[in-house]
A = this chain, B = another copy of it.
Amino acid sequence: MVLALLGILKHGQPNDTFNTKRLFRDAFVEFVATTLFIFSGTLSASSTGKKLALGQGAAEDVGRVLPIAMAFGISIMTLAYSIGHLTGGHMNPAVSLLMFFRRQMSATKMIFYWIAQFVGAILGASLTWGCVSSLAGDPVLNGEFKRPPFHLGANTLDPTMTAGNGFLLEFMGSVVFFFVIAQTALDKRGIADSMFPAIPIGFSLVVVHICLIPFTGCGVNPARTFGPSIVVCMAGGDCEAVMGDAYWIYWIGPFLASWAVAELTLIMEMDVDGVEAAT
C-alpha cells in the first residue's frame, strides 16, 4: 500500500479538479446518492426486524438475510444507474480509494468524495431514525426496542466470532465486491466497452451481503459502517455495541482490499497478445 502510494506520487494521477464547478457538483451527487443508499439499506434492517419481532418472537431468522441483502445491493444497482454517468457512482470511500489506486481520480477529488460519502451516510442513518423513532412495545425484547431500534442497522461483529474472523470476512467480502467493480468498470476490453456495469456490481453486493450479514452485519464500506454507528452514539444508543473492539475491521478490511484488488486486476490486465491493452 505504501509502495502504491509512492508510485502514485511519482507517476501522477489524473488532474480532474481544475473544473471547480464540476468538482462540487460531483461531490453533491455522491452526497445525495450515499444518503439514499444508507437510508434504504439501514431501514431494511428495522423493517425486517420488526416483522419478525411481532410474528415469530425471534430477532434472528434466515428470512431476514435476503431482503436486507437486496436492499443494500439493489440500491447500489439502481443508484449507480442513476448517477454513474455523473460521478461513477461510488457511494463507498473504499471504492473511491480503489479508483485512486487505479489512477481513475486524483487524491483531491477522492477527498471531496469521502467527505460527501461520510456526511451522506450520517444523514441517511438519521433519516432512518426519524422513520422508526416510535417503534416500541415489542413483546419479545421486554416490551421495548433499544432506542434507536435495531442499532439503526449498524455493523456489529457476532459474539461467536473472533476479530480475526471478522477481519478476514470484511477483507474477502470487499475483495469479491471490488474485483467485480474493477473488472466490469475499468477493463475496456470487457463489458465496460458496451454497457454500464450496474447489474454485476449491484448483484455482487447482494451476494456479499448474503455471506456476511449473519457474521459482521456486512460493511465492506466504511461510510456504511460509520453513518449508523455515529448516529446511534449521538442519540444515546448502545455506543459500545456499535463502536466496539472490532470496529477497526470495518475500516482496515475494505481499505486494504482496495489496494489488493487494484494490484490483482492490474496483473490480470497485462498485455498477453503483444498489443497495449486500452485501459
A residues whose Cβ falls under 8 Å from a Cβ of B: 19, 21-22, 25, 28-29, 32, 36, 39-40, 43-44, 47-48, 50-52, 54-56, 58-71, 74-75, 77-79, 81-86, 127, 130-137, 158, 160-162, 165, 168-169, 172, 175-176, 179-180, 183-184, 187, 189-191, 196-201, 203-204, 206-208, 210-215, 264, 267-268, 270, 272-273
Contacts of A47 in B (CB 8 A): 65, 210-215
Contacts of A134 in B (CB 8 A): 160-162, 165
A85 touches B211 (CB 8 A): no
Contacts of A59 in B (CB 8 A): 55
- A36's partner among B71, B179, B213 (CB-CB below 8 A) is B179
- A214's partner among B22, B51, B179, B200 (CB-CB below 8 A) is B51
Select from chain B the residue with minimum beta-carbon distance to A166.
B131
Number of copies of this chain in the oligomer? 4
Contacts of A71 in B (CB 8 A): 207, 210-211
A124 to chain B, nearest CB (A): 10
Contacts of A83 in B (CB 8 A): 183, 190, 268
- A273's partner among B19, B190, B215 (CB-CB below 8 A) is B19
Among the interface residues A28, A55, A187, A207, which one has the most CB atoms of the partner chain B within 10 A? Answer: A207
Select from chain B the residue with minimum beta-carbon distance to A197.
B81
B84 touches A191 (CB 8 A): yes
A268, B268: Cα distance in complex, Å? 36
Contacts of A22 in B (CB 8 A): 272-273
Can you list 30 A-B contacts (CB < 8 A)?
Answer: A32-B268, A39-B172, A40-B207, A50-B158, A55-B61, A55-B62, A56-B58, A56-B60, A62-B63, A66-B66, A67-B69, A67-B210, A71-B211, A74-B204, A75-B176, A77-B200, A78-B180, A81-B184, A82-B184, A82-B190, A84-B191, A85-B190, A86-B190, A127-B172, A130-B165, A130-B168, A133-B162, A134-B162, A137-B160, A191-B196
